[in-house]
Amino acid sequence: MHLQPVTPGDEKFREWLSRYREEITGESPTGEWLDRYLDSLFADQGKHRHIWWGVDGGRKIGFAVAVLSRHWANKGRTQGIIGEFFVYPEFRREGRGSRLAKAVIDWLKEHGADEVQSGVFVGNVRGLRFWESVGFHLARYNLVYRPDIPHEIDEED
């Protein structure tokens, strides 16, 4: 598995990003939304943000977007954050996602990250189990205040 930088304007990346967003949100993003998102995503490409194809056996099997930055409170520490991670469905359940994750983690560590974080949306148990299988553990809960979006409350005893 090797990481290959994605170039701005890559139509295959746009298609795969759309598919990824549909998978995680349940609806296809609009073309306008994708344009704005891609402009923002590529604005920092190669500086703090890194956007890669995962290439295995000469084939693009997925993509990853990672950020490498100084810790906000402890400038002596460097954090890596894997913000977007997608393995195309036909390449899942073959170990390729784990190899892509390892390649990204290795790159971040080689470039100074003392900690690597990732996240999954609530309800994405498969994603949570995937990240646990490559060595991540639950370290904190991230809560979002969005009164415009209804949510279910799960009561625990």
32 belongs to a structural domain: yes
152 belongs to a structural domain: no
* Interatomic CA distance for residues 155 and 69, integer angstroms: 37
* Interatomic CA distance for residues 152 and 120, integer angstroms: 18
* pLDDT for 157: 47
Report whether pLDDT(145) > 90. no
70 belongs to a structural domain: yes
**Do the beta carbons of residue 32 and residue 43 sit within 8 Å?**
no
147 belongs to a structural domain: no
CATH number at residue 42: 3.40.630.30
pLDDT (tens digit per residue) in 26-63: 889 999 999 999 999 898 887 789 999 999 999 999 99
**Do the beta carbons of residue 89 and residue 132 sit within 8 Å?**
no
156 belongs to a structural domain: no
pLDDT (tens digit per residue) in 85-104: 999 988 888 899 999 999 99
46 belongs to a structural domain: yes
| Choice between 116 and 72, residue whose per-residue pLDDT is larger | 116
User: Using alpha carbons only, how large is the chain's radius of gyration in Å?
Assistant: 16
For 96, the domain range is 2-133
Whole-model pTM? Answer: 0.85
33 belongs to a structural domain: yes
41 belongs to a structural domain: yes
* pLDDT for 75: 75
What are the strands, taking DSSP E only, across the chain?
2-5, 49-56, 59-70, 78-87, 115-118
Domain total of the chain: 1
What end-to-end distance do the CA atoms of the chain give, in Å?
45
